[in-house]
Chains A and B, each alone.
Chain A
Amino acid sequence: MGMDDGSASATQRLLTTLAAANENETGTDQTHTVSFDGLQVTRDADDTFTLTIDAADIAHAGLDADALESLLAGEESALESGGVAAYVTNWHYWQETVGGEGTARRAFLRWCEHAPLSNSLGTHTGVEAGNTGGEADGDEQGQDRTLPVPDRYAALQDGIDREWGQLCITARFADVDQPDGERVYDLWHVADAGTDIADLTVYDDPREAREIATYDEDGRYRPLKTAPTLETGWAFTGLSGEELVDAVGFFYPATIANWHREREGNLDVDHWAETADRQSGIYEVVSELPHDAVGWMAEACCVDSQCLRRREWEYEDGDELDADGGDGPFPCREPCSLVVAAARKWAIAESESERTYELELTPTERNQLEELIDAVADDRTDEIREADVNDGANRYRARYLRAKRFSDEGKLEMREQSESESGSESASEVESESG
């Protein structure tokens, strides 16, 4: 019949499924349907079959078993637009290889190839239920279109790329020459999209992702997995769907689960106030962090330049923080352990009362303080050239300022003004905490 093995076995599995469904029923004159991604095959009460693919204008009724098998396996190539065999191998991949109905893993793999997310059994419910695809699937960006089977099959030939934080995922056919519907996945850094694979270190065990994710390109430890500091130069190739999900889980733990919950409408966001109240031990103090400080903290730690999760938590329900939450695909549902640990430092620091200090600086020196703070805050110190004395955060400039303005004890010289009297007579030298 001119069909390849993959298509043949997918056809056999589909026929078996129809038959099995029959046997599982007590009443023998029931009808049984396999309905998936636009394909609909029904075993009718009189033991004939109906095959329908609306999108391809295919509708055959009254088929006997041989005629059905012939149609399913198809003379046509699995690749041919609208080819029946494509729908059959597609059914086989999703229902037999991937399975996991309702799981985040399945939803994520569907997302990887722009498949409709909640149309798994042909019950067209939910916002993404496009039978033939082509509808927006409710993604926040509104640019996430789903594709019908023939379009996906054409795209899987070359590979479909999706971005997940700094990860680029390519879904493609395992066997391009004779596609049997089985997909494999490649995974690499988005910045390596244009790099020849020969120049990348290639891995195939998802657990290797742990090591890659542990250090940034300067060899510094990355305690925050979703920081935008993933190093480049590696690739995972030919992963199964399960392996892909494991690898993404090692790079960005729990992002798929929370993304899925968000799509299903049951993301359980814990706002700052709830999270702070829950803390105990040395972190109990974080609930004393002032409201304004929570905003500064979110601006300092949670924007896209620091973390690729999209902050969905606010101060509390109905009390939003001003800082930008980011626009990545995966949500942040509560302040993470790094934020809580930093909040402890700020909660203690913010319990101090403000004072007024008096110190002498030239206008250039005052500007330089701002440049120094900016350079550290923007993690730019490594980029400042040694001889670039025009940059206020240049090392020589900082050393000069220290030589000029620090006391012998290594403190910035300044006087603290008391509240009752201003003026330098009453001022005394104070020590900065960071000394």
Chain B
Amino acid sequence: MQALVIAAHGSHLNPDASTPTYAHADTIRETGAFDEVREAFWKEEPHFREVIRTLESDEVFVVPLFISEGYFTEQVIPRELRLDDWDPDKWESDGTSASQVTLEATDVGKTIHYCGPVGTHDAMTDVIVQRAESVTEDPDVGEGVGLAVVGHGTERNENSAKAIEYHTERIRERGRFDETKAVFMDEEPEVDDVTDFFESDDIVVVPLFIADGYHTQEDIPEDMGLTEDYRLGWDVPAEVDGHRIWYAGAVGTEGLMADVLLERAADAGAELGDAIDRVRQRTSTASGADGDAERHSQAGD
């Protein structure tokens, strides 16, 4: 038997924080590729600490639903899962290249394939592009359009910016959008000035965040000038400084994220049959772009 555990942050304050986690877990459940699929959280239940013991499978694939390699993926999750032999060096990563390492969870004696975060997987590039398709409702979006990928920045963790730049570069190389740029919340180039960095009239803005919350639903919309007060909502597209801003909200809510989770598990040796193809087929039409301007989310803590 094999199990998939999706390890996400969750929130004590915001019930929406776990919504994408549940949605992607359900997509994967419906493929039947795993005998068991579990959501696990740092701030909700089941906690990382107690999730493995809820499984009957001997072989467990743990995929962090996080954007970058850093504090949570390198320290918190392995510690809470009791992966005693874990060492970040075992990923042999340059900051965005972690794939997996096989360990044992010492409380249950199960084999744990501890995977790199979804945010740094190559398949994530496709999710960002699809998010742009979703928000513009244009499956061919690109020509005459600029794409801004928004990241948190380096304040907490340098790998966070690396992940943003990695995908931005991959999208740029494809030549699909007239311009593709990385912008950040707490470092230059800042998302506040997004219109300064683009010549295109239309700019699609995709935050590389897992869930909608304080940053994606309050901070960024106000900082970009989409709205004076997030509680009033904003238009999609919204007119700012002579540009039309198509603000997508968190990329992690895109249905295709389920594919990235599966790819991570497959890279770690999970037997998935044709599940990846089926999930791609099911989620490859743009989805989940609700703009959601009325959302009154609070910050996850």
Stretch at the interface among B51-59, B246-254, B255-263: B51-59
Cα-based distance from A60 to B283 in the complex (angstroms): 61
Residues of B near A225 (CB, < 8 A) are: 44-45
Are B49 and A334 neighbours in the complex by a CB distance under 8 Å? yes
- Residue A410 CB within 8 A of the other chain: no
Are A254 and B53 neighbours in the complex by a CB distance under 8 Å? yes
Residues of B near A249 (CB, < 8 A) are: 46, 54
Which of A207, A223, A258, A280 is B50 in contact with, Cβ under 8 Å?
A258
Known: A100-B56, A280-B75, A281-B71. A254 touches B51 (CB 8 A): yes
The A-contacting residues of B in range 27-55, CB under 8 angstroms, are 42-47, 49-51, 53-54
Are A257 and B76 neighbours in the complex by a CB distance under 8 Å? no
- Residue A215 CB within 8 A of the other chain: yes
Cα-based distance from A224 to B11 in the complex (angstroms): 11
- Residue A384 CB within 8 A of the other chain: no
- Residue B136 CB within 8 A of the other chain: no
Cα-based distance from A249 to B56 in the complex (angstroms): 13
Known: A207-B26, A258-B50. A223 touches B56 (CB 8 A): no
Residues of A near B85 (CB, < 8 A) are: none
Residues of A near B53 (CB, < 8 A) are: 104, 254, 257-258, 261
- Residue B15 CB within 8 A of the other chain: yes
Are A253 and B46 neighbours in the complex by a CB distance under 8 Å? yes
Are A223 and B76 neighbours in the complex by a CB distance under 8 Å? no
Are B46 and A221 neighbours in the complex by a CB distance under 8 Å? no
Cα-based distance from A257 to B56 in the complex (angstroms): 10
Residues of B near A258 (CB, < 8 A) are: 50, 53
Which of A226, A253, A333 is B54 in contact with, Cβ under 8 Å?
A253
**Could you say which interface size class chain B belongs to?**
20 to 34
Are A221 and B45 neighbours in the complex by a CB distance under 8 Å? no
Cα-based distance from A256 to B301 in the complex (angstroms): 28
Are A337 and B54 neighbours in the complex by a CB distance under 8 Å? no
Task: Find the A residue at minimum CB distance from B106.
Answer: A268
Which of B14, B51, B301 is A341 in contact with, Cβ under 8 Å?
B301
Cα-based distance from A223 to B13 in the complex (angstroms): 7
- Residue A210 CB within 8 A of the other chain: yes
Are A254 and B46 neighbours in the complex by a CB distance under 8 Å? yes
Mark each residue of chain A from 73 to 105: 1 if its CB lies under 8 Å from any CB of chain B, else 0: 000000000000000000000000000100111
Which of B22, B43, B50 is A254 in contact with, Cβ under 8 Å?
B50
Residues of A near B11 (CB, < 8 A) are: 223
Task: Find the B residue at minimum CB distance from A245.
Answer: B54
- Residue B12 CB within 8 A of the other chain: yes
Cα-based distance from A223 to B46 in the complex (angstroms): 11
- Residue B79 CB within 8 A of the other chain: yes
Cα-based distance from A326 to B171 in the complex (angstroms): 56
Task: Find the B residue at minimum CB distance from A338.
Answer: B12
Name the distance in Å between B68's Cβ and chain A's nearest Cβ: 16
Task: Find the B residue at minimum CB distance from A266.
Answer: B107
Residues of B near A281 (CB, < 8 A) are: 71, 75-76
Are B26 and A253 neighbours in the complex by a CB distance under 8 Å? no
Are B56 and A103 neighbours in the complex by a CB distance under 8 Å? yes
Mark each residue of chain B from 215 to 247: 1 if its CB lies under 8 Å from any CB of chain A, else 0: 000000000000000000000000000000000
Residues of A near B26 (CB, < 8 A) are: 207
Residues of B near A105 (CB, < 8 A) are: 56
Are B44 and A223 neighbours in the complex by a CB distance under 8 Å? yes
Are B14 and A221 neighbours in the complex by a CB distance under 8 Å? yes
Mark each residue of chain A from 331 to 373: 1 if its CB lies under 8 Å from any CB of chain B, else 0: 0011011100100000000000000000000000000000000
Cα-based distance from A338 to B47 in the complex (angstroms): 11
Known: A253-B46, A254-B46. A337 touches B12 (CB 8 A): yes
Name the distance in Å between B2's Cβ and chain A's nearest Cβ: 16
Cα-based distance from A210 to B75 in the complex (angstroms): 28
The A-contacting residues of B in range 1-29, CB under 8 angstroms, are 11-15, 22, 26
Cα-based distance from A64 to B22 in the complex (angstroms): 56
Are A210 and B56 neighbours in the complex by a CB distance under 8 Å? no
Residues of B near A257 (CB, < 8 A) are: 50, 53-54
The B-contacting residues of A in range 244-289, CB under 8 angstroms, are 249, 253-254, 256-258, 261, 268, 278, 280-281
- Residue A214 CB within 8 A of the other chain: yes
Are A337 and B13 neighbours in the complex by a CB distance under 8 Å? no
Name the distance in Å between B34's Cβ and chain A's nearest Cβ: 14
Task: Find the B residue at minimum CB distance from A213.
Answer: B45
Residues of A near B14 (CB, < 8 A) are: 221
Cα-based distance from A256 to B50 in the complex (angstroms): 11
Are A221 and B13 neighbours in the complex by a CB distance under 8 Å? yes
Known: A254-B54, A268-B107. A210 touches B45 (CB 8 A): no
Residues of A near B107 (CB, < 8 A) are: 268
Residues of B near A334 (CB, < 8 A) are: 49
Task: Find the B residue at minimum CB distance from A106.
Answer: B56
Name the distance in Å between B38's Cβ and chain A's nearest Cβ: 8
Cα-based distance from A225 to B50 in the complex (angstroms): 14
Known: A221-B13, A223-B13, A268-B107. A253 touches B71 (CB 8 A): no
Are B47 and A210 neighbours in the complex by a CB distance under 8 Å? no
Name the distance in Å between B205's Cβ and chain A's nearest Cβ: 28
Residues of B near A210 (CB, < 8 A) are: 22
Are A337 and B22 neighbours in the complex by a CB distance under 8 Å? no
Task: Find the A residue at minimum CB distance from B15.
Answer: A221
Are A337 and B15 neighbours in the complex by a CB distance under 8 Å? no
Are B12 and A223 neighbours in the complex by a CB distance under 8 Å? yes
Residues of A near B75 (CB, < 8 A) are: 280-281
* Additional A-B contact list (18), CB under 8 Å, known A254-B53, A337-B44: A104-B54, A221-B13, A221-B15, A223-B12, A254-B45, A254-B47, A254-B51, A257-B54, A261-B53, A278-B79, A280-B75, A281-B75, A333-B50, A334-B49, A337-B42, A337-B43, A341-B43, A341-B301
Q: What are 23 A-B pairs with beta-carbon distances under 8 A? A: A103-B56, A104-B53, A207-B26, A210-B22, A214-B15, A223-B13, A223-B43, A223-B44, A224-B45, A226-B45, A253-B50, A253-B54, A256-B54, A257-B50, A257-B53, A257-B54, A258-B50, A268-B107, A278-B79, A280-B76, A337-B42, A341-B12, A341-B43
Residues of A at the B interface (CB closer than 8 Å) are 100, 103-105, 207, 210, 214-215, 221, 223-226, 249, 253-254, 256-258, 261, 268, 278, 280-281, 333-334, 336-338, 341
List the 4 shortest-distance A-B pairs measured between CB atoms, nearest first.
A253-B46, A254-B50, A253-B45, A223-B12
